[in-house]
Structure 1
Amino acid sequence: MSQPSQDIIQKAQHLRDQLNDWSYRYYVLDDPAVPDAEYDRIYRELQALEAAHPSLVSADSPTQRVGDVPLEAFDQVQHEVPMLSLDNAFDDDELRAFDKRVRERLDVSDAVDYVAEPKLDGLAISLLYLDGELARAATRGDGQTGENITVNARTIRSVPLTLRGDKVPSRLEVRGEVVMPHEGFAALNARQEEAEQKVFANPRNAAAGSLRQLDSRITASRPLEFYAYSMAQLEGVPEPATHSDMLDALRSWNLRVNPEVRVCAGVEALLDFYHGILEKRDRLGYDIDGVVYKVNRFDWQRDLGFVSRAPRWAIAHKFPAQEELTVLNGVDWQVGRTGALTPVARLEPVQVGGVTVSNATLHNIDEIQRLDIRIGDTVVVYRAGDVIPKVVRALPERRPAEAQNISLPPSCPVCGSEILRGDDQVVARCTGGLICGAQQREAIKHFASRRAMDIDGLGDKLVDALVDQELISTVADLYRLQSEQVAGLERMGEKSADNLIAALEDSKSVALGRFLFALGILQIGEETAKSLADCFGDLDTIRRAPLLLLLAVPDVGMEVAKAIGAFFAEADNEAVIDGLLAAGVNPQSSGEPSAAFVNSLTLAQLLKSAKRLGMNLEGIGDKSLETLGNHYRTVAELSAGAAEGAGAEPKGVRSGVMTQLAKALADNGWLARLQDAEAMVAELAARAPAQAESRPLEGQTWVLTGTLEQFTRDQAKQGLQQLGAKVSGSVSKNTSMVVAGAAAGSKLAKAESLGVEVCDEAALLSVFEQHGIDPGAL
């Protein structure tokens, strides 16, 4: 085939530029330059030209949005910056409380500027551009890890393949939402019906399903739209000062931003925006389920920071839930991983907010009795966004004569064990523990999951098969499996079985925090599990730790501390842990408790924890407890002082406290409990190294920028955190060190302008090696 002439090459480039410019005008500026027919005519002209001369086809050509051959599966993508969730406000008062918290934390009295934007009801994705070219697209996933959907994202016309402008970022990660407009959704379902295929329940499900097709040609045929709402990474250009400036920058680079976005000064302006967008909701042409508000200034966002996995500077203001009437046909009782029994309403199917609802939660037996709900009743079903539908009330005036009362089952519907429910307990639980099939299966599935023990190949169906064949009954049994046992299962063979046994062997050496999370302790998430591991240093100490010390762990409150204590007090749980250890599972830990944690375990701290746990110290404030702790130092000295009674109070402690203290120490074994806790503190102190040795970067803030070659940013972050450093996403005058990898951009420039110390990857690796950390193994 002959090479195209220079004229043809130039003509193809002109057509590509023309079509891309029209797309920018249409999608980003919302200002169509030509009718659709003219766009289609030029598109076909370019298509014909490229068909005649395949060498003309470029990656950014509008014709390259037709999809490619099907994939076998999606690759996983680790988000370098987590995709976080937002806290919710469901009424005006909750929004005013949010604004009040923001102003109090910022110590400002004037109205705060926010950016208000519709909360699109679609699928959140991340787009990564390198030197202006779309390099990767990923789903949100669990916020930490998503799926690589690059091939599918390229088919969406409002996702630019190339950024515009003379000065584009060297690295840009954009966050946004993929939605399916109402018109396109209706047309898609019409085609599905005509082809006698399954119709979609709502546009959100259709968008999510379309974007996660292994055959991207199917995605290309679906009417999907993309709207950008934030940036997660920006290098190579100056950072904008505000969120609204950032959105303007995104528009200038060819990225579509929702046209309804507004900057609002103060909470009343936010409420005006909310009620205005709620009124026009049905005319927007796409689904929204609320409004998102974000503090506009980025420096204020950084000052406000985050709590758990949500930013303090943003909130989602949800629209009122939609409700419908239907009939309650029956109640099933489901048994959860912790043994809790949950009543599930079986309903006459009804459409609620575009979704067919046939099941809904009834919460618990107390709620059923409080609402006086009976089988046969006409009930109100409530659904808000993705919230699980729930029955909120019955209509007694429509109650049939044969309506039946709802009561707890006499025994566990799964294993037949006794149902236990104390007088002060809302939740009823099966006493079957590890013999209950529901708890067995869910506990094992959680234990094997990626963020827990990460046992490759041990999926839900295989767990069910292993339990059904009575090859395992607890997680400890996993490590006693033989390859030939697994190979004999349906859909398994020798190779798959060998791979599973190898994966089980690999999982035996796991970080202590992940092991604790894998045990499935009630209310213990990943961060709390990691805190426990860091504070106590080894598994044995955590197993013996009294509530007085558990309460001192950062972010551990009363309910969490009680859940931890109860778990390790249960003989069956202890037997399973012993079985895991005997099978060779070896949770990895330094063996050294955190020096900062040990230093916090003062006598005053123990007294404060004891007060929270019910020791009769009512009326004795924290300041007095601090004074007592500083004066007496040890429990023995405190007890001796208390024995002297009134008049023995240290200076600053009111009269009568020592008499009250003496009685409190004698009640309910509190003296012995404090002495036991103090003994463990001494044990921890003996094992804790000097703080400078155990966490040499304590109090320092490090920033990672650019591409690291020998390990990922996430691995580098974990290594720095082990050494005590805080890893931030932005550079400030308080930054201790910036690690600059290849193609470092604006963060490096900012560090240099502020005089912040900068090192390269080799220097960071040297720090890790000096302290015995292998980041590649994290």
Structure 2
Amino acid sequence: MSPAEAAIRIEELTAELNEYNYQYYVLANPSISDYDFDQKLKELEELERLFPQFLDADSPTQKVGGDITQRFNTVRHRWPMLSLSNTYSEQELRDFDARVRRAIGDDFEYVCELKFDGLSISLTYENGVLKRAVTRGDGVQGDDVTANVRTIKKIPNRLRTEGYPELFEIRGEIFMHRPAFQRLNNERIENGEMAYANPRNFAAGTIKLQDSAEVARRPLDCFLYFLNADNRNRLFKNHWESLEAVKSWGFHVCEHTALCANIDEALAFIAKWEKERHDLSYDIDGIVIKVNDYGQQEELGFTAKSPRWSISYKYKAEQVETVFQSVSYQVGRTGAVTPVANLKPVLLAGTTVKRASLHNANEIARLDLREGDTVFVEKGGEIIPKVMGVNMLKRSPDALPIVYPLSCPECSTLLVRKAGEAVHYCPNDEGCPPQIVGRMQHFISRKAMDIEGMGDETIETFYRQGLLRNIIDIYALQDKQDILIGLERFGQKSIDNMLAGIEKSKEKPFEKVLFALGIRYVGETVARKLALHFKNIDVLAAASKAEIEMVHEIGERIAESVTEYFANDIHREQIERLKQHGLKLAVEEKVTKRLGDALEGKSFVISGVFEQFSREELTAIIESHGGKLLSSISGKLDYLVAGDKMGPSKLAKAEKLRIPIISEKELLQLIANN
């Protein structure tokens, strides 16, 4: 390759890898496999070695991760979070072992650990108290996500034992167990929200949420695996001793860790977990090997971006070939039509796979999928197998392309696809059987109305019998006991329990009822925000799209969906009938304990994210001192209480109207002064 050709290729690889890094570290949405990324990175490293005149200090080979997201405070790491060199080859592991032996001799041990597929985190403790949690970021600095990390149950906010340094940092990996991912991802799909590809993406997306209350509702876990402290070498001789110590301090350390006398034992550990990794409840993508002794680690030192005393062996995602037979189209409760590939059964990652996700019409077009194709199917970190590509060498010359249906496979209604969206929808929400049944099943679910004595099968049975056609009919079952008792498998006791559960559901608060209605994109968190802001269903139903968008963290897509829902006469009629049945369609205002009248006669709007208090706490503080909360900025407003990341439109409007803008600290001072 000539220097000119090398320069062009280096520029191409640099641009590609920077984009992949951005998608992985910042967006938590990788678009390339780890193996393919590493191969491109190795190609770039080799070209930079052969043509050093083109090596740029900003090259991906010189960086650990991606950029820093702009939504959190950026914190510099006390000890840089370097990445590890990767290999997929046994020979390269033996080469690594040979380099170590040349440097420090033959008297050393390895510690082998599972390489968790999650989000790297650095935790700083002072006097046994968690002070800061920072993401890897670019290795030099990362995002301060302390408030979110404090909600993870396996991470202690305060240590209960003794023996730890006054100041230390411990590193680990935040992840989500596969069963939790499956359950939460299904909920997102049912709510019409974009599904996450795998647990790693879901964990990373969760830890970057602005609402720590929502983070707390998602079951994240964390393994800790590396200690940093100024006097670490005086406390412990080696890494293994430090792991045993941090376990005794109360940290969650993975039990699948091994002390190995040589590289052959390390390779045996790798082989064992390549077979058994699918038995774990969480994803791993390889094994990390570390020289155990701290003194020997120091002697081996570091390269510009990784330690010379550690390396990671990465497993390739399992991929198999099989025959694509047909496409099935599933209709969810929100009307979303999801294509699924039906496959010739094949063994993959320890299970027999018959179906694989195709996501949407765009994915079918990207694959250029045709009837009878031989396809590559991969599981990797994903729960549902995915069709990765087509073996063109085995394609029949007369294979017909897949034509996405124009009408709903369940009710024959013409499908719609909004601009900018990848998913096709059936708009016949009141006449399409899967939508009707799915919406009722969502209504009675645990996180919605939580009706005891009713389950998904009960809903399906009652729908087939003509007893239920919409959520209103659930509250009319009380008058149909004579029909119910005649149904198979429904005794008097089960009927009584079900009717009692229906009656008890009327006690559910407004936010639960709003979530239970099944409005597209309105999940639990959005329902709670809308309920608290608009206070009752009538005000919300009358709100314009612009007014709904003014609610904190409610975007255009959600606002449009809500206004479309309430513009439907059928939905409005259902709301009126729910009122007649006694459901709570307004927030029950709590009586605020009056602490003073320092803010009497003053009006406030709260906007942004705050350091000391939540928005709900600030609301309580203002109301308990006589102040009044307004929902929007106008000339009548006395103060705008502004936090971090406040919407620019609100700020501009307040400045234009010359409304005083104060911080949470200034609010407290205002109360104290009066």
Q: Give the TM-score normalised by structure 2.
A: 0.50
What does the per-residue CA deviation read over 1:561-608, in whole Å, with 9 as the maximum and x for residues that have no partner?
Answer: 32223322333333322232222222351359996365562259x9xx
Aligned to 1:204: none
CA distance in 2, matches of 1:464, 1:401: 44
Aligned to 1:371: 367
Distance 1:502 1:100, change over 3 A: closer
Alignment of 1:602-617 (within 5 A): 602=633
User: Aligned partners of 2:463 and 2:588: how far apart in 1?
Assistant: 35
Q: Say if 1:332 and 1:228 are closer, same or farther in 2 by CA, change over 3 A.
A: closer
1:526 aligns with 2:516: no
Amino acid at match of 1:282: A
Give the C-alpha shift of residue 469 in structure 1: 0.5
Give the distance between the partners of 1:318 and 1:104, measured in 2 at CA.
32
Give distance in 2, aligned partners of 1:361 and 1:497.
39
Structure 2 matches for 1:13-52, cutoff 5 A? none
Match of 2:475 in 1: 479
Q: 1:328 to 1:228 in 2, by over 3 A?
A: closer
Cα contact 2:64–2:82 (8 A) shared by 1: no
In the alignment, which of 250, 258, 270 is matched to residue 255 of structure 2?
258
Question: Is 1:356 the equivalent of 2:352?
Answer: yes
Check if 1:596 corresponds to 2:627.
no
Count of residues in Structure 1 that have an aligned counterpart in Structure 2? 400
In the alignment, does 2:389 pair up with 1:393? Answer: yes
**Residue pair 2:243, 2:253 contacting (<8 A) in 1 also:** no
Unaligned runs of 5+ in 1: 1-85, 122-143, 147-164, 168-174, 180-226, 232-242, 263-275, 294-316, 607-620, 635-691, 693-697, 700-778
Residue in 1 aligned with 2:75?
106
Cα deviation digits, residues 675-704 of structure 1 (max 9, x gap): xxxxxxxxxxxxxxxxx9xxxxx99xxxxx
Cα distance between partner residues in 1 of 2:402 and 2:319: 23
Task: Tell me if structure 2 keeps the 8 A contact 1:290–1:318.
Answer: no
Q: Secondary structure at the match of 1:346?
A: strand
Separation in 1 of the partners of 2:224 and 2:580? Answer: 49
CA positional deviation for 1:398: 1.6
Q: Measure the CA separation in 2 of the matches of 1:577 and 1:166.
A: 58
1:531-576 deviation digits (Å, cap 9, x = unpaired):
1112222222222222223223223223223222332233333332
What is the match of residue 66 of structure 2? 97
Counterpart mapping for 1:21-420 below 5 A: 91=34, 96-97=65-66, 105-108=74-77, 110-112=79-81, 118=114, 229=223, 248-250=245-247, 257-258=254-255, 260=257, 281-284=270-273, 286-287=276-277, 289-290=283-284, 321-420=317-416
What SS class does the counterpart of residue 286 from structure 1 fall into?
Answer: helix
2:319 aligned counterpart, secondary structure: strand
Name the structure 1 match of 2:655.
630
Q: How far is the alpha carbon of 1:504 from its aligned partner?
A: 0.5
Q: Which letter does structure 2 place at the counterpart of 1:596? A: I
Is the alpha carbon distance of 1:247 and 1:339 closer, same or farther for their aligned partners in structure 2, counting shifts above 3 Å?
A: farther
SS at match of 2:518: coil
Report if aligned partners of 2:379, 2:386 keep a CA contact under 8 Å in 1. yes
> CA contact under 8 A between 1:229 and 1:247: conserved in structure 2?
no
Instruction: Report sequence identity in percent.
Output: 30
Task: Please tell me whether Structure 1 or Structure 2 has the larger radius of gyration of its CA atoms.
Answer: 1
Deviations 1:614-659 (A, max 9, x none): xxxxxxx98798456534479xxxxxxxxxxxxxxxxxxxxxxxxx
Q: Which residue of 2 aligns with 1:575?
A: 573
| Map of 2:466 onto structure 1 | 470
Question: Is the Cα contact below 8 Å between 1:417 and 1:432 reproduced in 2?
Answer: yes
Q: CA deviation at 1:396?
A: 2.8
Residue 550 (structure 1) aligns with: 548
Give the letter for the 2:329 counterpart: W
Question: Is the 8 Å Cα contact of residues 377 and 394 (structure 1) preserved in structure 2?
Answer: yes
Gaps of 5+ in 2: 1-26, 38-59, 85-111, 118-150, 154-160, 164-173, 179-220, 226-239, 260-264, 288-312, 593-603, 608-628, 638-645, 669-674
Which amino acid in structure 1 is aligned with residue 276 of structure 2? Y
Correspondence for 1:506? 504
Supply the distance in 1 between the matched residues of 2:579 and 2:396 (Cα, whole angstroms). 58
**2:475 aligned counterpart, secondary structure:** helix
Query: Cα distance, 1:477 vs. partner?
Result: 1.0
Offset at 1:499?
A: 1.4
Is the Cα contact below 8 Å between 1:118 and 1:261 reproduced in 2? no
The alpha-carbon distance between structure 1 residues 516 and 394, as it changes in their structure 2 partners (threshold 3 A), is same
Would the aligned equivalents of 1:378 and 1:394 in 2 still touch at CA under 8 Å? yes
Residues 328 and 347, structure 1, Cα contact 8 Å, conserved in 2:
yes
1:181-235: per-residue Cα shift (whole Å, max 9, x none)? Answer: xxxxxxxxxxxxxxxxxxxxxxxxxxxxxxxxxxxxxxxxxxxxxx99479xxxx
Amino acid at match of 2:493: K
Supply the distance in 1 between the matched residues of 2:486 and 2:314 (Cα, whole angstroms).
51
SS in structure 2 of the partner of residue 529 of structure 1: helix
- Cα distance in 1 between the residues matched to 2:113 and 2:552: 35
Q: For 1:504 and 1:568, locate their aligned partners in 2 and report how far apart those are by CA, in whole Å.
A: 25
Structure 1 pair 416–88 and aligned structure 2 pair: CA distance change class (3 A): closer
Alpha-carbon separation, structure 2, partners of 1:410 and 1:176: 40
1:286-317 CA distances to partner (integer Å, 9 max, x unpaired)? 31632699xxxxxxxxxxxxxxxxxxxxxxx9
Q: Give the distance between the partners of 2:655 and 2:251, measured in 1 at CA.
A: 63
AA of the residue aligned to 1:602: I
Aligned equivalents of 1:112, 1:166: Cα separation in 2: 27
- The answer to whether the 8 Å contact 1:376/1:402 transfers is no
Compute the displacement of 1:440 (Å): 1.0
Shift of 1:346: 0.7
Indicate the SS of the match to 2:587: coil
TM-aligned CA deviation for residue 462 of structure 1: 0.4
CA contact (8 A) 2:325 2:371 kept: yes
Is the contact made by 1:487 and 1:496 (CA closer than 8 Å) also made in structure 2? no
Q: What is the Cα deviation at residue 415 of structure 1?
A: 2.1
Report the Cα distance in structure 2 between the residues aligned to 1:623 and 1:409, rounded to whole angstroms: 43
User: 348-357 or 396-405, which moves further after superposition?
Assistant: 396-405
- Whether the aligned pair in 1 keeps the contact of 2:513 and 2:584 (CA below 8 Å) is no
Q: Secondary structure at the match of 2:114?
A: strand
Moved more, 447-456 or 479-488: 479-488
Length-normalised TM-score, structure 1? 0.44
> Do residues 429 (structure 1) and 425 (structure 2) align?
yes
Inter-CA distance 371–229: structure 2 relative to 1 (3 Å threshold): closer
Distance 2:565 2:253 in 1: 50
- CA contact under 8 A between 1:465 and 1:489: conserved in structure 2? no
- Kept in 2: contact 1:328–1:345 (CA 8 A): yes
Q: 2:596 aligns to what?
A: none
Quote the offset at 1:177 in angstroms.
11
| Alignment deviations for residues 430-462 of structure 1 (CA, whole Å, 9 cap, x no partner) | 232122110011111111011110000111110
C-alpha deviation, 1:379, in angstroms: 1.2
Verify the 8 A CA contact 1:329 1:346 in the aligned structure 2: yes
Q: Which amino acid aligns with 2:374?
A: T
The code of the aligned residue for 1:461 comes to: E
| Cα contact 2:533–2:631 (8 A) shared by 1 | no
Give 1:329 deviation, angstroms.
0.7
State the secondary structure of the residue aligned to 1:585: coil
